[in-house]
Structure 1
Amino acid sequence: MTAAARKGGQTVTVREAIASGLQRRYKITAANAKPTVDYDTVVDTASGWLAWPANGQVSGTAGQIVTVVDSTTSGANARAKGEATLPDPTA
């Protein structure tokens, strides 16, 4: 997983496709507040997770961490996780 600067934010690229029956969610946090994600971690919107944008464009500040999780469609049962450090957005 990589994060690249774009005007006003970042574009995150996840190399792996989403497996059948799963959904992708993400959360941006400070480096010292990364979420702990285990196999059965709930990653629903009520827990602060956001639906993955089809274009991979997110908005954070330099040094923040984007955590991306693939989970069952109910938002429970995390199945795959990745992280990347966000660069400075371009002006």
Structure 2
Amino acid sequence: MFVLITYDISTVDEKGKRRLRKVAKICVNFGQRVQNSVFECKIDPAQCKKIEIDLEKIIDPKQDSLRFYYLGSSKGAKVKHIGVRVSYDIEGPIII
């Protein structure tokens, strides 16, 4: 499976900087960095679940944000969001 992992870690204090380094280290072990906080990973479902669990243990969901984009042709793309920023329905109505 092909998964795009993105994250936004608050680094206003030393704890946040440590979290950022830990998150990046886990992602580097499973994929290729394509931007500072974006990794492309070609992994199996078990590895994917392990990454999700490991990253969830590290982040502070009140300050940090993780997004997993599951890309594939069988059922289309799916997005899983964990943390502070609220996800939205990109295909939903736009209110101006």
TM over 0.5: no
Comparing both structures, which one devotes a greater share of its residues to helix?
Answer: 2
* TM-score, scaled to structure 1: 0.36
Comparing both structures, which one devotes a greater share of its residues to strand?
Answer: 1
* TM-score, scaled to structure 2: 0.35
